[in-house]
Amino acid sequence: MRASRYFAITVILLFCVLPAGAQSLSASKDRKARLEKDIKTLEKQLSSVTARSNSAATQLDLLHAQSEARRELLSDSERELSSVNDSIRVCQKQINAVQNRLDTMTFYYEKLVRNAYKNRDARSWYLYILASENLAQGMRRYGYLRQLSTQMNAQGRRIIEERKHLEAERARLDTMRMQAKALRDERASELNKLRKEEDKSRELVKELQKDRRKYQDQLASKRKEVEALNREIERLIAAAMGDQGGKNKGKAGGKKTTTKIDQALSNEFSANKGKLPWPAEGRVVSHFGRNPHPVYTRLEMPFNNGVGLAVDKDAPVKAVFNGVVKQIVVVPGYNQCILVQHGEYFTFYCKMGSVAVKAGDKVKTGDVLGHVASGPDGTQLHFQLWKGRDPQDPEKWLR
C-alpha cells in the first residue's frame, strides 16, 4: 500500500511538467512562427517602400499592420509566460510536498537503521528467537525479523529512487525557469520594437497632417483606380454569367448538364466557407469594406471589395478552390488580374507580375496561378471573392 502511494506521488510529479496539450502547444508554435514571418515580411515591405516612394500613407498602413502583428505576438508571449509561471508554481508546490514525504521516510528509515545498528550483534537476534516459548512463536519472530530486514532494504531503495526523481524534477523546474526568463527577455525586446513603430507612426501622421491637399489628390487617384477595377470585375462576371446563360439556351440536354455541374461546384464551394486556403502567405494590410482613414477621419475612403495581402517578393499565388480561369486582364494600378469561376462564385487575383495560366484552363485547389508583382505600395496581392454579382468578405471564407 505504502509503495503504491509513493509510486502515485511520482507519477503526479511527472505529469506536472508535461504540456497541458501537445496539440495546443504545436498550434501555438505554428502561430508564433507565422506572426514572426508576417512581421519580417512587413519590415521588408517598409524598407522597400521607404526607399522607392514618398507615400507616407502607404508606410503608415504597413506600420499599422506590423504593429498589429507584433501586439498579437506579445499577447501570445504573455499567455505563454503566464502558463509557464503557473506550471512552475504547481511543480514547486508538488516538489515541496514530495520533499516533505521524503524527509519523513528518511527520518523513520534512519531510526530503523540506528536501532538495527545498536542490535547489530547476530547473537542477540538468535537469542530473541531461541527465547521463544514454543516453535510457533519462534517461527513468528523469525518471520518478523526477516520482514523487517526486507522492509528496511525496500525502504532504502525507495528513498534512493525518490531522490533521483526529485533531482530530475528540480532540473526540469530549472529549465522552465530559464524558459520563463527567455520569454520575459523576448517580451521586453518586442515591446521596445513596438514603441519604436508607434513613434514612427506618429511621425508619419504629422507628415500627413502637413499636406492634406497632396493626400486628397492621392486619394482621389486611388478612388478612380478602385472604381475602374470594380467596373471591370462586374463586367467580367456579367460576361461569364452571360456566357453560361447562352450555353443554357442551346440544347435542353446541354442546359441540364451545365446547370448540374455549376450547381454542384457552387454547393461544394459554399460548403467550404471558412475553410478555403489563403491565396498567398502574408499579412492582411487592407480589409474588406470601408476602412476609416487613420489621420483624416472625415475623408471618405473608397469601398474595398476585397483584401490586400503584404507578401514576400515574387510570392506564388494559388487557387483557393477548383474552378475555371475565365479571363486575364490588365487594370491600371492593379497589374495583371486573373478571374477564376467556381460555379456561381468567382475569385479575383490582382497585382500579378507573372501569370502561369490562360483563359479556359481548369485549376484545382492549390494550383499556382502566377506570382505577385512589386509596386510603389510594396509587394501586395489584392484578392476578391464574389457570389454572383455580390462581393463577399474574403476573411469570412478563408481559414
pLDDT, tens digit, for every residue of 34-92?
Answer: 887 787 777 777 776 665 555 677 778 888 888 888 888 888 888 888 888 888 888 78
pLDDT exceeds cutoff 80 at 343: yes
Q: Could you give the domains of the chain? A: 2-210 (1.10.287), 219-397 (2.70.70.10)
Residue 196 vs residue 265, higher pLDDT: 265
Count other Cβ atoms within 10 Å, centred on residue 145: 13
Residue type, 197: E
79 or 356, which is more confident?
A: 356
Q: What is the pLDDT of residue 14?
A: 38
C-alpha cell at 121: 550483534
Share of the chain above pLDDT 90, in %: 27
The x, y and z cell numbers of residue 302, run together, are: 473608397
In tens, the pLDDT along 92-149 reads 887 787 778 777 777 766 766 666 655 555 555 555 556 667 777 767 766 766 776 6
Q: What percent of the chain has pLDDT over 70?
A: 75
Q: What is the pLDDT of residue 194?
A: 81
Statement: residue 187 has pLDDT above 50: yes
Work out the pLDDT band at 20, boundaries 50, 70, 90. Answer: very low
pLDDT mean across residues, the chain: 78
**Confidence (pLDDT) at 12:** 36
State the pLDDT at residue 119: 54
Q: Is the pLDDT of residue 324 over 80?
A: yes
Q: In 168-322, which ranges are E strands?
A: 282-286, 306-311, 316-318
Query: What would the mean pLDDT of 9-32 be, rounded to a whole number?
Result: 53
Residue 274 pLDDT > 70: yes
Calculate mean pLDDT across residues 11-27.
47
CA distance 341 to 236: 10
Which segments within the chain are labelled E, that is strand?
282-286, 306-311, 316-318, 323-331, 335-342, 345-355, 362-363, 368-372, 374-375, 378-387, 390-392
State the pairing for strand pair 323-331/335-342.
antiparallel
Cβ atoms of 393 and 60 within 8 Å: the answer is no
Over residues 207-222, the mean pLDDT reads 74
Task: State the DSSP H helix or E strand holding residue 293, giving kind and residue range, or none if neither.
Answer: none
User: pLDDT at position 71, please?
Assistant: 86
Helix, strand or coil, per DSSP, at residue 341: strand
Mean pLDDT of 274-281: 96
Residue 7: count of CB within 10 angstroms of its CB: 12
pLDDT at 106 (0 to 100): 76
Using CB atoms within 10 Å of the CB of residue 55, give its burial: 0 to 12 exposed, 13 to 18 middle, 19+ buried: middle
Residue 110: DSSP 8-state: H
Considering only residues 308 and 134, tell me which one the structure prediction assigns the higher pLDDT. 308
pTM of the model: 0.62
Per-residue model confidence as pLDDT tens digits over 225-273 = 888 898 899 999 888 887 554 444 444 444 444 434 478 899 999 999 9
CB-CB contact of 41 with 282 (8 Å): yes
pLDDT at 329: 94
pLDDT recorded at residue 24: 62
- Helices 135-210, 2-15: axis angle to 10 degrees equals 10
Distance CA 268, CA 277 (A): 14
pLDDT score, position 70: 86
Say how far apart CA 37 and CA 152 lie, in whole Å. Answer: 60
Rounded to an integer, what distance in angstroms lies between the CA atom of residue 153 and that of residue 149? 6
Q: Point out the least confidently predicted range of 105-119, 157-171, 195-209.
A: 105-119
Do the Cβ atoms of 292 and 205 come closer than 8 Å?
no
pLDDT one-digit tens code per residue, 1-15 = 443 333 333 333 333
Beta-bridged to residue 328, according to DSSP, are 338
CA 222 to centroid of chain Cα atoms: 34
Which of 77, 72, 70, 73 has its CA nearest to residue 42? 70
